[in-house]
Structure 1
Amino acid sequence: MNPIYLDYGATTPLDPAVAAAMEPWGVAGYGNPHSAHLWGYQAKAAVEIARDAVAALLHAPPETIAFTSGATESVNWALKGLLTHPSNTRRRIVTLATEHSCVLETAHYLESLGAQLTIVPVRANGIVDLGDLERALGEDVALVSAMLVNNEIGVIQPIAAIARAAHAVGAVMHCDAAQAFGKVPIDVDALGIDLLSLTAHKVHGPKGVGALYRRPFTMLTPLLHGGGQEDGRSGTLPTALIVGLGAAARIAGERMAGDREHALALRDRLLASLTVPVEVNGDLEARWPGNLNLGFPGIAAPLLSLLPGLALSSGSACAAVTGRASHVLTALGLSEPAAKASLRLGFGRFTTPAEIDAAAAQINAVVTRLSQDAA
């Protein structure tokens, strides 16, 4: 039997309705959306419908949305594009210690080219102290980057306050919304976001497509040079994938409140079903309820290999490739062994209460056995 899938933080199951929306554009609707004939016009119309759906979920004008291959490309374009644009005279980036590796590694790359990088720590609950952030800012800061919903611990950063602090020193505000898009309400104007990166596969859409929101007059150097199809992002648009992103956005908008209530009920059910000592990594209230990162006091052994019936992780899928401890959990103050022994459980739209009960039973059994062996 397949393990119970509890790794929604890594990727979400493709919604069948999204797959159905994509299907006509994978075979029959093969026109290039940039071509000036009927096939191209039909594909372009489908792309623009998707653009409208993505923009609506951000309360943004459609013309501010550029399609990319995913959140990593969007982040790279936002950071590299801003720091290398001739109009930018500032050289410093400020970000948080718990950001996704695509933000941190891009920032480190720019640092190797001469930019300055300031990484602000977070409190033990995973949320930044605004005083620490403000003390890190100055008029040399070009960009502040902060994630809305953390991919490993699910905590929600105070983006509006962070953006106000960034704008007070004349910096641009970038938000990694890969884990937030379609799950929590986002209004780019109300939050003060200038650049926002997102992806489809975290919200029941296909892999390989995402978008970058860019506030008008935010100047970026193109990341990919060529035909300039997406206002600076060159390359033929993948119609079927973009249609999938648009469908996922539309469905998420319709189901956002219900999806949240479902995830919250599953989270509370799981916590109530765990009979072993457990600690929640990250703030329990200011978080997306479909992400639950758990530590088990006294347990230092990596638990993943002992839970073959569960498909989950101990950190991001990116970190799993290297085998290193989660930088997010160590930023919260966990030791490396404790971080490696933690479990990230992601669940949502298609997770059932029976799966949560089975997962809790497996975790209880393994942790109990390890505790008895250590006694």
Structure 2
Amino acid sequence: MKPIYLDHAASTPVHPEVARVMYQMLLEQHGNASSVHTFGRAAKKIVSGARDTIAGFLGCAPDEWIFTSGGTESDNLALFGAAEASADKGKHIITTAAEHHAVLHTCSELEKQGYSVTYLPVDSTGRVSLSDVEAALREDTVLISVMYVNNEVGTVQPIEEIGRLAGELGILFHVDSVQALGALPLTLRELPVDYMSFAAHKINGPQGIGGLYVRRGAPLAARQHGGLQERGRRAGTESLAGTAGFAKAVELAAGGLGERQAHALELRNALLTELEHRIGREAYVLNGNPEHFVPGIVNLSFPGIRTDVMLMNLDMEGIAAASGSACTSGSLELSHVLQAMKLPEEVLYSAVRFSTGLGNTNEEIRLAAQKVETILKRLRK
């Protein structure tokens, strides 16, 4: 049986059209976009064109877009950059206990530098309450950071409501949108957000490149120093193949959003229906918010079967799934997101994330459900 990849929330296969664009860049372009000669100007045109394309599809101005090495750098640049630029106004930051470690570890580092961080709880579905955000506000609050879509359970946060609250009080607002791009409609100029983080490899683009949206007027202190690339906000020679590939991936993801959403929902429903038919609804628990979610991420617990045991057996059956964030699942640590949701122990210790995307079919989903049934029967004997 051909291996079945159900870990698209970790990383996605590169779209053939993206690969073709990148291959062309690698073969034909080698100039430095900071050089003034013909080769340099050609390189600059590629980077500028990619920036224009992404800005056009995401609804922002080209000068509000910064190319980075990925979502982690984008989160780091936003949090460190906004905090440092606003330190004279206050040193209090609000985030949630269910954020990606790229945000949580950055906040931890900021605490070492003298900042105060409030980690808000989430409910049993992984959603933060607007009233909790409001209650955590202080006179010295300068920044709020809440992810758009949780990478482990797919829960969508009330970003617009939080953003409006922050805007009314003059507080900066950062959103990790790594899992939202390609899953939800995004028009940045219409969102009450100051900073948004993105990564190309979550939307069938290349690994190693991402972006940070910075609203005009939002303060940002540079973290990487050297040249004057990205308008002095992020030094370093731009990746021609990376920027061009990212732009193509955004074009495909944004242009085909409706189709992507419908396909993801079809696969989600197929998985849940097939599992209910094969093992019974009482044999698994669906984790996440039943109303506010993206369909491409399905987090399921199989009480009585440890996560690592299930993942190992799935892998032996040719099914690639995960225990949560790709940045920690390699060590099979207990999910901090599910812990923040305060789930029962039998649910917490048996959770598996299935995430779908490009290339997945209904037949693959049926086969995956069949393998889950086989594994459960074998292990529960």
TM over 0.5: same fold? yes
Partner of 2:228: 228
Q: Which residue of 2 aligns with 1:214?
A: 214
Distance across 2 between alignment mates of 1:162 and 1:86: 19
Q: Does 1:366 align with 2:375?
A: yes
Quick one: which amino acid aligns to residue 156 of structure 2? I
| Contact 1:137–1:169, Cα closer than 8 Å, also in 2 | no
Aligned ranges 1:266-277 → 2 under 5 Å? 266-274=267-275, 275-276=278-279, 277=283
Which stretch of the first structure deviates more once superposed, 55-64 or 209-218?
55-64
1:282 aligns with 2:260: no
Deviations 1:303-354 (A, max 9, x none): 1012122111011111113331010111111256633421100102211111
CA distance in 2, matches of 1:37, 1:7: 44
> SS of the residue aligned with 1:12?
coil
Match of 1:346 among 335, 352, 355: 355
User: 8 Å contact 2:72–2:102 — kept in the other structure?
Assistant: yes
- Other structure's SS at 1:26 match: helix
Question: Quick one: which amino acid aligns to residue 55 of structure 2?
Answer: A
Asked whether the equivalents of residues 88 and 142 of structure 1 are also in contact (C-alpha less than 8 Å), the reply is: no
- 1:305-320 pair list within 5 angstroms: 305-308=312-315, 309-320=318-329
Residue identity opposite 1:362 in structure 2: K
Equivalent position SS for 2:118: strand
Instruction: Show the counterpart of 1:90.
Output: 90
Per the alignment, do residues 336 and 40 of structure 1 end up closer, same or farther by CA in structure 2, a change over 3 Å counting? farther
Gaps of 5+ in 1: none
Q: Which residue in 2 is equivalent to 1:247?
A: 248
Higher helix share: 2
Deviation at 1:301, TM superposition (A): 5.5
Q: Which residue of 1 aligns with 2:187?
A: 187
In the alignment, what sits opposite 2:200?
A: 200
**Secondary structure in structure 2 of the residue aligned to 1:212:** strand
SS in 2 for 1:367: helix
Residues 1-375 of structure 1: pairs in structure 2 closer than 5 A: 3-85=3-85, 88-231=88-231, 232-274=233-275, 275-276=278-279, 277-300=283-306, 302=308, 303-308=310-315, 309-335=318-344, 338-371=347-380, 373=381
Distance 1:130 1:183, change over 3 A: same
Q: Deviations over 1:141-182 (max 9, x none)?
A: 111011111111111111000111222332101000111112
Displaced runs of 4 or more, over 6 A: none
Give the residue type in structure 2 aligned to 1:249. V
Aligned residues: CA RMSD: 1.5
Alignment partners' CA distance in 2, 1:139 and 1:109: 22
Unmatched tracts of structure 2, length 5 or more? none
Q: 1:340 to 1:27 in 2, by over 3 A?
A: farther
Judged with a 3 Å threshold, the aligned counterparts in structure 2 of structure 1 residues 33 and 336 are, in CA distance, closer, same or farther, namely: farther
Secondary structure of residue in 2 paired with 1:307: helix
C-alpha separation in 2, matches of 1:112 and 1:18: 41
Residues 185 and 88 of structure 1, relative CA distance in 2, 3 Å threshold? farther
2:11·2:202 contact (CA, 8 Å) conserved in 1? yes
Query: What letter corresponds to residue 298 of structure 2 in structure 1?
Result: L
Q: Among the aligned pairs, what percent are the same residue?
A: 41
Q: Which amino acid aligns with 1:283?
A: N
Letter in structure 2 aligned against 1:78: A
Letter in 2 for 1:107: C
Distance 1:170 1:39 in 2: 44
> Aligned to 2:237, what secondary structure does the other structure show?
coil
Aligned letter for 1:370?
L
Alignment length (residue pairs) = 372
Q: Distance in 2 between matches of 1:301 and 1:292?
A: 15
Distance 2:87 2:341 in 1: 37
1 CA distance for matches of 2:113 and 2:346?
34
Map Cα deviations across residues 209-250 of structure 1 (whole Å, 9 max, x no partner).
011110111111111011121122000001100000000001
Superposed displacement of residue 97, structure 1: 1.2
1:293 counterpart letter in structure 2: N
User: Could you tell me whether the CA contact under 8 Å between 2:304 and 2:346 is conserved in 1?
Assistant: no
